[in-house]
Amino acid sequence: MLLEVALSFLLYAFVSGITPGPANLCSLSVAMKSGKSVAIKQWYGLFTGYTIVALASVFIVYFISSAFESFIEVFSFIGAIYIAYLAISLLLQAIKSYNEIRNNRATGNFRTGLFVQLTNVKIMVFCLTAITTYMLPYHQDFPHILIFGLVLPFTGPVCNLAWLFAGVLLQGIFRKHHRIFYTLMGLSLLSQIHFDNAAH
């Protein structure tokens, strides 16, 4: 892979990974609410889910590339429903007191992180686009595509750690202004649904 292409891919991966999305906002929320150790447990699920999506993208590109459109459409619909659910949950949290939120330990675990990523259309589109744009023009054989797919989980989830640690640093502010945080995160997720639907 040419150096210019590699640099272009890294920039694309960084911008895609660092911008707000379900996984980043979920990590921020859990880290602010429950701290680093709980958020890290969820991050392991996010990383695992990202890896599954990346490897699924490898197989889709290599074996059933003709099914791209239907694959994206189905998961766009499922992802939009789940993002709407997350957004509404965040907005409902905004009306609760901080003590009520703090006492609710239902969020922030491996399964939550895994499910967020398995329904995250943003990373599905990213993985498919990355493989078809930055790998297929240079290598069409399965081993190269697979290796590239195994590199992808070290892009988004690494950027996600920035959101997680930002959440840890913002815990003190969150205690005083949790309603503002939850409202902004909920509205941000709702705007993500609009963006995804417009893209397809």
More confident position, 114 or 191? 114
How much is the pTM?
Answer: 0.73
Query: Are the CB atoms for 39 and 163 separated by under 8 Å?
Result: no
Q: Is the pLDDT of residue 199 over 50?
A: no
The whole-number pLDDT of residue 195 equals: 43
List, in sequence order, the alpha helices (H) in 19-170.
22-34, 36-63, 68-93, 98-103, 110-118, 121-134, 142-151, 156-169
Helix 36-63 / helix 110-118 crossing angle, nearest 10 deg:
30
- The Cβ of residue 170 has, within 10 Å, a number of other Cβ atoms equal to 15
CA distance 35 to 29: 10
Q: Is the pLDDT of residue 200 over 50?
A: no
Q: Is the pLDDT of residue 112 over 80?
A: yes
pLDDT per residue over 126-157, tens digit each? 898 888 888 888 888 899 999 999 999 999 99
188, two tokens: 């941000």
Instruction: Give how far Cα 66 sits from Cα of 59, 61, 96, Å.
Output: 12, 8, 47
Q: Is the pLDDT of residue 52 over 90?
A: yes
CA distance 63 to 168: 42
5, two tokens: 């292409």
The whole-number pLDDT of residue 72 equals: 59
